[in-house]
Amino acid sequence: MRKQFVGVRLRRLREERGLSQAALARALELSPSYLNQLEQNLRPLTVPVLLKVNAVFGVDVQFFSEDEEARLVADLREALTETGVREGVALAELKELASSMPAVGRAFLSLHRRYREAAGRLEQVSTRLGEDWQTTPKPLMPFEEVRDFFYARHNHVEPLDGAAEKMHRSANLTIGNMATGLQAHLERRHDVRVVIVERGLESDGASRRYDRSSRTLHLSADLTAGQRAFHMATQVAFLEQAEALEQLTAQADFSGEEARRLARIGLANYFAGAVILPYQPFLLAAESLRYDIERLERQFGVGYETICHRLSTLQRPDARGVPFFFVRVDRAGNISKRQSATDFHFSRVGGSCPLWNVYEAFAQPGRILTQRTVMPDGRQYLWVARTVSHGAGGYGTPAKQFAIGLGCDIRHAGRLVYAKGMDLSDMDAATPIGAGCKVCERRDCAQRAFPAIGRPLAVDEMTTRFTPYRAET
């Protein structure tokens, strides 16, 4: 752990608990002068002191995490870019804000979100009045609100994870053959029949439909056993965890009912994944197999995407897995799913980076590709990418194809089988990528598709460069 100066956050914790500096020094078994130096940022936080703070305050060590700072810095940089006032705010200043006053940084992001919403409403009103009024920021769409809801929770929802483990034990479910046990559980506890329906009988091609009046759950015959188990577990969530789903969505600042409904579906799906891949057994298997996704598929009887998504949720404070980032993209570069358990930042402005191996995966369908990358801020990551296909019938029926990306900070790469043969000590072996052309600061990227927002271009009529949209220094 690099040197961390956390004086403001330490003072904030002490003041919230109503403790004097002397009282906290006694609780942490430190001298008053040493604690004063910590609070004045004259001394860095050490691991022994961090553990004592965790024990005294009961806070997660993530409260002082470098990854948390990196997430906040990335969000602040993007917010400033969108508002067009980033010029004059140095990266060092943003890092200082994220490190010393994270609450102020989060308050700024909250104000920026409200500004986007207000600007969007103003644009809508102006359009109705026939005025030609434009603004760059847009209000978040409901599905974007839900993405941010999970992102803020590091893609981990402990109340549902705990409830899923309890339900897994009480229903005597069998790993690798969940569908049989879940069907019996629905019939026994809820008097719900599960009926497998041929696609031709479902005019709209629905894969799951629950009929409240007849207490019948209809599942498509095109689903695999693992997919049927997932849909049955989702229905269990709506039947047994309705109160928890309502409480969790009520805690979020959603703009309307559409976002709340999408969030409830997302939380029900989270519960389903936690039932068929229960936390502790799945974490133990993942660690023992060095996060070999294909071997985990065979052991738990579910698909590649389901395994990857679950791996990105293993952030229980007392039993953490590798903090992964999960992304699903299509051939056009649209990101339909993205979850981050730690600091990796997905841009909301423009597309993602074409040098990312998730796009190369389409050229080699079904093959697992690995890539070591470095972001503009110098942080390095290991990425694993592979395509998946979702069919909905027989011959001639269109199938959906996506690339699934799973990544982690390079410091965790040694725990993964995918780092085999890599020289992790070679800091120059990484591919330079960015969060997206419109927010990427790289000046010499030949693959750049758009100029960076808020950066004036170095336009020279007498010179043609191989690198497009070069920004002024």
User: Phi and psi for 364 in degrees, rounded to 5?
Assistant: -135, 65
- pLDDT confidence of residue 428: 82
- pLDDT confidence of residue 228: 94
Q: What would the pLDDT profile of 162-176 be if each residue is shown by its tens digit? A: 999 999 999 999 998
First to last CA, the chain: 33
Q: Which two tokens stand for residue 366?
A: 């079904």
Sequential DSSP letters for 297-342: HHHHT--HHHHHHHHTT-EETTEE----EEEEE-TT--EEEEEESS
Q: CA torsion angle for 242, 150, 362, 429 (degrees, to 10)?
A: -150
The residue ranking higher by pLDDT, 377 or 121, is 377
User: Domain ranges in the chain?
Assistant: 7-64, 68-139, 140-276
Polymer length in residues for the chain: 473
- pLDDT confidence of residue 225: 92
- pLDDT confidence of residue 216: 95
Instruction: Name the average pLDDT for the chain.
Output: 83
How many CB atoms sit inside 10 A of residue 384's CB?
Answer: 24
Residue 441 has pLDDT above 90, yes or no: no
Q: What would the pLDDT profile of 211-269 be if each residue is shown by its tens digit? A: 999 999 999 888 899 999 999 999 999 999 999 999 999 988 888 899 999 999 999 99
- Give the distance from CA 315 to its chain's centroid: 11
Residue 127 has pLDDT above 50, yes or no: no
- Which is it for the CA torsion 450, 455, 458, 459, positive or negative? positive
The residue ranking higher by pLDDT, 117 or 136, is 117
Residue 89 has pLDDT above 80, yes or no: no
- Residues 253, 142: Cα–Cα separation, whole Å: 11
Buried b (16+ CB within 10 A) or exposed e, 25-56: bebbebeeeebbebbebebebeeebbeebbeb
Is residue 180 very low, low, confident or very high in pLDDT (cuts 50, 70, 90)?
very high
Structural element, H or E, at residue 216: strand 216-220
The pTM is what?
A: 0.73
- pLDDT confidence of residue 317: 85
- Residues 273, 310: Cα–Cα separation, whole Å: 7
CB-CB contact of 358 with 336 (8 Å): no
CATH topology match: 7-64 vs 140-276: no
Task: Identify any residues that bridge with 406 across adjacent strands, giving them in sequence order.
Answer: 326, 384
**CATH no. of 7-64:** 1.10.260.40
Is residue 25 very low, low, confident or very high in pLDDT (cuts 50, 70, 90)?
confident
Residue 5 has pLDDT above 90, yes or no: no
- Residues 124, 429: Cα–Cα separation, whole Å: 48
**CATH no. of 140-276:** 1.10.10
Task: Identify any residues that bridge with 325 across adjacent strands, giving them in sequence order.
Answer: 340, 407
